[in-house]
Amino acid sequence: MMFLGVAAVAAVAGGVSAWYVNEQMPSKIEYITTTSEHQTQLGTHFTAYEESKYPDLTYAAENAVKAVVNIEAVQRVEVPQRGQFGYDPFLEFFGIPQGYGRRGQSEPQYQERRAGGSGVIISEDGYIVTNNHVVDGATKLRVTLNDGRTFDAELVGKDSATDIALVKIDQDGLPTLPFGSSDALRLGEWVLAIGSPYNLQSTITAGIVSAKARSLGALSNDPEDFSIESFIQTDAAVNPGNSGGALVNTRGELVGINTLIQSQTGSYIGYSFAVPESIVKKVVVDLKQYGVVQRALLGIGFQVIDQTFIDHMGEETGIKEVGGIYVGSVEEGGAASEAGIRKGDIITHIDGVEVNDAGTFRERIARHSPNDKVKISVKRADKVKLFEVTLRNKAGKTELLTKEDIDVSESLGGKFVDASEKLCRELDIRGGVQVAGIKADGILARARVKEGFVITHINNRTVYSLSDLKKLTGKIHSIDGIYPNGRSASYVLVE
């Protein structure tokens, strides 16, 4: 049954009358009388409206929306085909693609998949920041501006650890969005989330800053990974397609890049998260200048000293109060070790900023480059010590990286886990990194490596664990390893 609703507003002397009528229900009329320009009375309830106390978001919205773009990412993926004679386990055993060398076998078939998100123009000559997951795996990028113009885009660089990427279009005189300060954001401050999802030229939603330095484990669950999470949490509505869009303060400044939502349905239910400007700016400057992120590492394993830590490790460590970062391990030869920081120390401040959570701790280090010096306050045996620490890169050196010093795990194009002790015993190896997933655009996919393969050597260097893999920076020439069935395999990359 259809219900018909009719709403109307009519002006009357001294006030406004409004009512709602539903034909299926008795009519109901509510009278609202305006007693002055900014005061409204309804029954016994009284609300005073003072315009000066409410934020004006129009300036920020009207200016910032001009610099937010839509990004279409096209992926060219191979369509799986069955061989003429079906599946052959003999060929699978030797890693030969099904149907290889058979008469009448057709060429590999490909199809295009289209996805996308949003981006923010940060320079007049066409540099645009977005999320890594928006452009990851794309063979072609297309950018549509707020005024409707469309351009092909080039990927300058991307960083999975922060989920930030930088793309470039060949155009000058573009509207830009200036960087603000995510450090200066206050809880309860109004912000705008601006995106340009597919089929919608722009979306603008408003909310407040609910929290800062949120760490969700969303970018990686790998404790050995270099993922950096220190999200700004807001209640501004963000939905799929808004990824890579702008989080803007009331002055129209970029304070974050909208990245993800927390939802069991895949759509917005009240929580959205943005990478803060302090991380975004560092990453895009590095990608533009070096082609690679200059990631600084302290070289420790740590735990946040919260109530859970006290309950489980308080008696063992003698720590009775929450607060600070517990140093659970120190990498030999790393930055912390060389400065004199030891296992069991409690880090309380970095450069004078108090650190009581993982997000703040990671963010304070992430804004630096290798060879930068930071001052770290440490509590040791009820005494406070101040250390000056020279940060290092992932290879344990203080030099800046170059484009040739690639991220090996990123170039391989896959997901990896440490080979289990049981598997290592069965294969009679000391250790290795097992391939748990393969991306379409990486070296593993091109070499036809199968999931389950255990990498034991890269460029003839032994790889015992994920930690060893992530320290490699050179260009990949060869990969050696073994499959779970005991078959050894070597892959040599030809230029």
The CA distance from 284 to 297, in Å, is 18
β-sheet bridge partners, residue 490: 480
* Model pLDDT, residue 27: 38
- The contacts of residue 35 (CB under 8 Å, 6+ apart) are 15, 41
Phi, psi of 478 (to 5 degrees): -150, 150
Q: Six-digit token pair at 178?
A: 């200036």
Cβ atoms of residues 273 and 257 within 8 Å: no
* Model pLDDT, residue 148: 92
Give the torsion sign (CA, 335, 337, 343, 345): negative
Three-class SS state of 485: coil
Q: How far is CA 312 from CA 25, 217, 320, in A?
A: 61, 21, 11
In CATH, 408-492 is 2.30.42.10: yes
Helix (H) or strand (E) holding 158: strand 150-159
Cβ atoms of residues 219 and 161 within 8 Å: yes
> Residues of CATH 2.40.10.120 domain(s) within the chain?
55-100+109-293
CA angle, 257 as apex, 256 and 260 as ends, to 5°? 120
Detail the DSSP E strand segments found in 103-149: 109-121, 127-130, 140-144
Per-residue pLDDT of the chain (495 residues; tens, 9 = 90+): 333 332 322 233 333 323 333 334 333 333 334 444 444 444 445 555 565 667 889 999 999 999 999 999 988 766 666 554 455 555 555 555 555 555 445 566 667 778 889 999 999 999 999 999 999 888 899 999 999 999 999 999 999 889 999 999 999 999 999 999 999 999 999 999 999 987 677 899 999 999 999 888 777 644 445 688 899 999 998 888 889 999 999 999 999 999 988 776 777 777 899 999 999 999 999 999 998 899 999 999 999 999 999 999 999 999 999 999 999 999 988 999 999 999 999 999 999 999 999 999 999 999 999 999 999 999 998 899 999 999 998 878 888 887 766 677 778 888 899 999 999 999 999 999 999 988 877 889 888 899 999 999 998 999 999 888 877 877 888 999 999 999 999 998 876
* Model pLDDT, residue 369: 94
Question: What is the distance in angstroms between the CA of the first residue and the CA of the last residue of the chain?
Answer: 69
- CATH architecture type of domain 300-390: Roll (2.30)
In CATH, 55-100+109-293 is 3.40.718.10: no
Q: Which of 304, 296, 295 is nearest to 324 (CA)?
A: 304
Q: Which of 431, 464, 433, 472 is nearest to 449 (CA)?
A: 433
Q: Is 477 a catalytic residue?
A: no
Q: Is 312 a catalytic residue?
A: no
**Active site residue: 136, 159, 163, 405, which one?**
163
State the DSSP string of 417-480.
Answer: EEPPHHHHHHHT-S--EEEEEE-TTSHHHHTTPPTT-EEEEETTEE--SHHHHHH--SPP-EEE
> Residues of CATH 2.30.42.10 domain(s) within the chain?
300-390, 408-492
Burial label, 297 (beta-carbon count in 10 A; 0-12, 13-18, 19+):
buried
**Active site residue: 133, 272, 286, 345, which one?**
133
Q: Is 147 a catalytic residue?
A: no
Cβ atoms of residues 118 and 68 within 8 Å: yes
The CA distance from 264 to 143, in Å, is 30
Q: Which of 55, 54, 59, 64 is nearest to 203 (CA)?
A: 64
* Model pLDDT, residue 186: 95
pTM: predicted TM-score of the whole model, two decimal places: 0.73
Q: Six-digit token pair at 372?
A: 């930068």
- The contacts of residue 271 (CB under 8 Å, 6+ apart) are 210, 233, 235, 261, 262, 263
* Model pLDDT, residue 418: 92
The CA distance from 2 to 176, in Å, is 48
Q: Six-digit token pair at 424?
A: 């290592």
**Active site residue: 196, 202, 243, 377, which one?**
243
Three-class SS state of 33: strand
- The contacts of residue 22 (CB under 8 Å, 6+ apart) are 3, 4, 5
* Model pLDDT, residue 473: 74
